[in-house]
Amino acid sequence: MIPGEIDSNRSVWIEETEQTPPEPPLSSRAVAEIAVVGGGLTGVSTAWHLSQRLSGRGIILLEAGVLGNGASGRSGGQVLHWINGVTTEDPDELRRIHAATHLGIDLAETLAARYAPPGTFRRHGALEVYTDAARAEAAHARVERLSRAGIPVRFLGADALRFEGGHGAILDPEAGRLNGFALLQGMRAALVEQGVVVHEHTPVLRVREGETMVLTTPGGEVHARAVVLATNAYTPALGYFRHEILPLHSHVIATAPLPDETWDRLGWHAWDGFTDDLDRIAYASRTTAGRLLFGGGGNPAYSYRYGGAPVFPEQPRHPAWMFLRRTMLRYFPALADAPVATRWSGTLGITLDRVCTMGVRGAHRNVYFALGYSGHGVALALLAGRVIADLHEGNHEAWRELPFYQRKLLPLPPEPLRWIGYQAYTRLTGRSPRRHA
């Protein structure tokens, strides 16, 4: 894996964003208090939170491509509560996780309202649709348990849904939808104004640890007292979390903008997002311009590259594209005449138990990290900025009881066992239901 190697973002979010010029690459030696590597939602939120606390002094952000070129600018856009991989029935823990991820959704709302064009963020709720009668019944019981814990979710019966194969759904009315690329493009100017030094097209090739961290880039070194790894699926290429993070490519399609009557025929109402209840999750959302975005839904919609390469070369004839269209039509037959207008791939950072980790490590306790969101990272990546800024101030208390705090990730097997294990696991569990928080 080559550190900083990143393919370009070809997602639908780019088509819906007026791009602004990037900040120049680093071209000389620089000194900073803290260097953030990666300009996705984790890195930009971290730089933004730090700049509020340090008045922008000594913060440098280095991004291999442009802000939002990674998963944050290519995602399904759903801004959701909960942490992937955490299953709990404990009402206190449910409330804690809900409150923390709620903060992440609130951050999306606040930052988009301040820095991004109208329509970048919407908050009309998201549906989790159950594709089996028994699981729908269990979901109904779960809604009652969550309601008793004070969490505002609703159960919708099959008659309230028009999705093919939907036996019921949980509606989370406080979830939303974000054009992450537009938010990050909009935040560039805010960071610079707050004193953050931003360098785009600046891949970090090497990190040398010490009391002073030394980052090597093609244009010069950065010497900093602390580093933030905000590189999610790309982190193993920098030599960190090589045995714990699996870069997985998720393929996505989007239609052209759909007229309102098509949305009505879909039975979509005002909702922002749709997921199903399967482990190889199908997800869909409504973009600002009224396109339907669709990803996942089965093994062909995801790819793992031997050795964990974090980029996926463009492949116009890849079987994922036909599979995605077929799966989209299974849920939304009213789209039979809607051609697929955009196709792209983005890289998820998967952990063995799907739970992410945030914390600080290294002999000098100066390497901060937040990664491994396993496909459920928009709200958590925004939250990570606040968590890391708190940890940098020495304030750990607010986060100690959350499952991601200093979480030790389980090791993945080395190649070729990793590749063989991925093939075997995905074949055995291709249609398995998902576990829930």
Q: Which residues bind ligand FAD (CB under 6 A)?
A: 3-4, 6, 37-43, 62-65, 69-72, 74-78, 80, 203-204, 230-234, 238, 250, 252, 283, 295, 346-348, 371, 373, 375-378, 381
Among candidate residues 152, 156, 177, the one with its CA nearest the CA of residue 99: 152
Q: State the amino acid at position 61 in one-letter form.
A: L
Min dist. Cβ of residue 391 to ligand FAD (A): 16
Cβ nearer to ligand FAD, comparing 146 with 381: 381
Residue whose Cβ sits closest to ligand FAD: 377
Cβ nearer to ligand FAD, comparing 81 with 134: 81
φ/ψ of 214, rounded to 5, equals -120, 120
Distance CA 85, CA 138 (A): 18
Distance CA 129, CA 365 (A): 43
Other CB atoms within 10 A of residue 401 CB: 12
Q: Which bin fits 32, alpha (ψ -120 to 50), beta or left (φ > 0)?
A: beta
Cβ nearer to ligand FAD, comparing 91 with 119: 119
Distance CA 337, CA 386 (A): 44
Min dist. Cβ of residue 345 to ligand FAD (A): 7
SS3 breakdown of the chain: % helix, strand, coil, rounded to 5? 30, 25, 45
What does the block give as tokens for 15? 């088509």
Write down the H helix ranges in 116-156. Answer: 133-148
Min dist. Cβ of residue 5 to ligand FAD (A): 8
Cβ nearer to ligand FAD, comparing 137 with 279: 279
- Tell me whether residue 305 is exposed, middle or buried, using C-beta atoms within 10 angstroms of its C-beta: 0 to 12, 13 to 18, 19 or more: middle
Min dist. Cβ of residue 265 to ligand FAD (A): 24
Min dist. Cβ of residue 118 to ligand FAD (A): 21
Cβ nearer to ligand FAD, comparing 2 with 134: 2
CA dihedral 130, 134, 135, 137 (to 10 degrees): 90
Asked if 108 and 258 count as a contact pair (C-beta separation under 8 A), the reply is: no
Asked if 228 and 368 count as a contact pair (C-beta separation under 8 A), the reply is: yes
Cβ nearer to ligand FAD, comparing 238 with 388: 238
Min dist. Cβ of residue 201 to ligand FAD (A): 9
Name 61's bridge partners.
36, 198
Cβ nearer to ligand FAD, comparing 72 with 397: 72
Other CB atoms within 10 A of residue 64 CB: 23
Min dist. Cβ of residue 207 to ligand FAD (A): 9
What does the block give as tokens for 147? 């309601």
Cβ nearer to ligand FAD, comparing 54 with 388: 388
Cβ nearer to ligand FAD, comparing 146 with 183: 183
Min dist. Cβ of residue 426 to ligand FAD (A): 17
Cβ nearer to ligand FAD, comparing 37 with 146: 37
Cβ nearer to ligand FAD, comparing 140 with 361: 361
Min dist. Cβ of residue 285 to ligand FAD (A): 7
Give whole-number Cα distances, 93 to 61, 89, 140, 437, in Å: 34, 8, 20, 10
Name 199's bridge partners.
62
Min dist. Cβ of residue 157 to ligand FAD (A): 25
DSSP helix/strand/coil, 82: coil
Min dist. Cβ of residue 331 to ligand FAD (A): 16
φ/ψ of 102, rounded to 5, equals -60, -40
